[in-house]
Amino acid sequence: MNSSWTRSFRSKYRREPVLSFAATAGAVNVVIGGLSTHWVLMSLGLGTVGMAIALGWWQLQSRKSTTLFKRVPNRTPLYALPSSASRPTLPLLSIPKKKPPGQ
Q: Number of folded domains in the chain?
A: 1
Residue 80 located in a structural domain: no
**Cα torsion 49, 52, 54, 57: sign:** negative
- Is 82 inside any structural domain? no
Amino acid at the residue 27: A
Side chain identity at residue 75, one-letter code: R
pLDDT digits (tens, 9 = 90+) for 6-36: 787 777 777 888 888 898 899 999 999 999 9
- Identify whether 72 is part of a domain: no
Domain range spanning residue 55? 2-67
pLDDT of residue 87: 63
Instruction: Please state whether the predicted TM-score (pTM) of the whole model is above 0.75.
Output: no
Q: What is the pLDDT of residue 33?
A: 93
Is 74 part of any domain?
A: no
Domain assignment of residue 42, yes or no: yes
What is the per-residue pLDDT across 75-99, written as a single tens digit (0 to 9) for each? Answer: 777 777 766 666 667 777 777 777 7
pLDDT in tens, 28-81: 999 999 999 899 999 999 999 999 999 988 988 887 776 666 666 777 777 777
Q: Identify residue 36 by its one-letter amino acid code.
A: S
* CA–CA–CA angle 59, 60, 64 (5° rounding): 115
